[in-house]
Chain A
Amino acid sequence: MKNRTTNVFILIAVVLLAVLPLLLVNGDFGGADGAAEEMITEIQPSYEPWFSPLVEPPAETESMLFALQAAIGAGFIGFAFGWFKGKASKSKSQ
């Protein structure tokens, strides 16, 4: 199979893997770390966390920072591929 066809299939599969649970599973899709705390208090009710995060951003800021994290990474990936592509077309034209 051609690379491009494979890539399209891969993207569809990844999107389906994320979307199908949303449509078919009846859950609240919480950010889950909270449930870890519940599980720990269930196993050991006396446990008290002895350190708390230095900064705890409000939910909106947190999602902004997550977006920023993804943007920085994706930006660099885009840069790298642009660079590869530029080099490849340059060596082809010579």
Chain B
Amino acid sequence: MFAAKSTRFLLLVLGFAIYFTVNEPQTAYAMHIMEGFLPLGWAIFWWAMFIPFFILGLRALIKITKETPELKIMLGLAGAFTFVLSALKIPSVTGSSSHPTGTGLGAVMFGPLPMSVLGSIVLLFQALLLAHGGLTTLGANAFSMAVAGPIIGYTVYKWMMRASGRQKLSIFAAAALANLSTYVVTSVQLSLAFPAESGGFLASLAKFGGIFAVTQVPLAISEGLLTILIWNWLQSYNSDELSILQRKMKGA
């Protein structure tokens, strides 16, 4: 068992080493759409798409803290996890850097809605203090990172739990796909706003999406692994909070 796992691990490392050397370096861009880089109409559209989820998210947060106040610390943990992960700009195979989102953990623990609030707090911090992302583009960025990513992650988790029943594998997939889908949504947003002159939306999508599909794959794997790491730590203390959470996760 152990030997088989190590062999698989070594093969994986070898595979990545080849993948890295074969890949042509090219520039890609980080997840957030820069301030002012969405036309006014699209900026308003994405704000309008985001706000209902934010309100639902607030209501979900209030409900959780009222029904199970013991879980407040877990909510804080989910928020803190996105805070840390989205500050880590990690070098990737395309020769540029990007960062994980950390929204998968919270989505798996509490469902997708609370993440719309926790994720947008992170984005607001970065937009206001770091000139990373922006206020006009906050609606679009929050929609991709704090709404779409968690929804996909949560759906993947539920679906995989039903299909395989293997919780850790499901959490890994949920976190990795929450990360990937965030970037897919960002490229859709950019392509909608900037369709190419020849080929329109789809040509732009291939351009924006093609690049970061590759940049983001190793980061999505890292994010999945880090989420499992946190989950393992949580399990090793097997606290009351975790068992309340587990019951909630199975019941919901």
| A interface, CB within 8 angstroms of B | 1, 3, 5-7, 9-11, 13-14, 16-18, 20-22, 24-40, 43-44, 47, 49-57, 62, 65-67, 69-70, 72-77, 80-81, 83-85, 87-88
Contact = CB atoms under 8 A, between A and B. Distances in A.
B56 to A, nearest CB: 24
Interface of B: 1-2, 5, 9, 12-13, 16-17, 20-21, 23, 25-30, 32-37, 39-40, 73-74, 76-77, 79-98, 122, 125-132, 134-136, 190, 194-197, 204, 207-208, 218-219, 221-222, 225-226, 228-230, 232-241
B84 A55 contact: no
A70 B218 contact: no
A77 B81 contact: yes
Dominant SS among interface residues on chain A: helix
Contact of A54 (B12, B135, B208): B135
A81 B237 contact: yes
Contacts of B190: 36, 39-40
A29 B95 contact: yes
Contacts of A73: 80-85, 87
A73 B135 CA distance: 22
A49 B128 contact: no
A55 B208 CA distance: 27
A17 B218 contact: yes
Given A51-B35, A73-B87, A33 B29 contact: yes
Contacts of A18: 90-91, 222
11 contacts: A29-B97, A32-B97, A33-B29, A35-B28, A49-B37, A54-B135, A56-B131, A65-B130, A67-B87, A73-B83, A83-B73
